[in-house]
Amino acid sequence: MSEQQEHAEHIVSPVVCAVVYVALLAGVGLTIAASYANLGILNPIIVLAIAFTQATLVALFSMHLKWSAKLTQLSIGACFFILATLVSLVLLDNVSRAWGSW
């Protein structure tokens, strides 16, 4: 029988944790600022871009996906791609409707 490989647990340095924390707080600030700005049709797109960025930071560093196996990274990347496709289709449907023209 073959021996099972033991995966060493990766420990994230406090500096990386602090940088990610500050980046997440900046994302919250940007989201609040975007909610007060009247950018028309770009508001949901900007807020969703900020949310995807924050979700990526959380997945990479808090869930240790940056240091995980390649298959796990591929699976998570495929999930993000499918989610981005579905959200873009919903936004496209919202933009293409003729609201108030009937």
Domain count, the chain: 1
Can you spell out the DSSP letters for the chain?
-PPPPPPPPP---HHHHHHHHHHHHHHHHHHHHHHHS--TTHHHHHHHHHHHHHHHHIIIIIS-GGGS-HHHHHHHHHHHHHHHHHHHHHHHHHHHS-TT--
Does some domain include residue 67?
A: yes
Residue 24 belongs to a domain: yes
- Looking at the domain assignment, is residue 1 inside a domain? no
Give the domain range for residue 73: 14-95
pLDDT tens digits for range 16-71? 999 999 999 999 999 999 999 998 888 888 998 999 899 989 988 988 888 888 99
* Predicted TM-score of the model (pTM): 0.71
Which of 2 and 78 is assigned the larger pLDDT?
A: 78
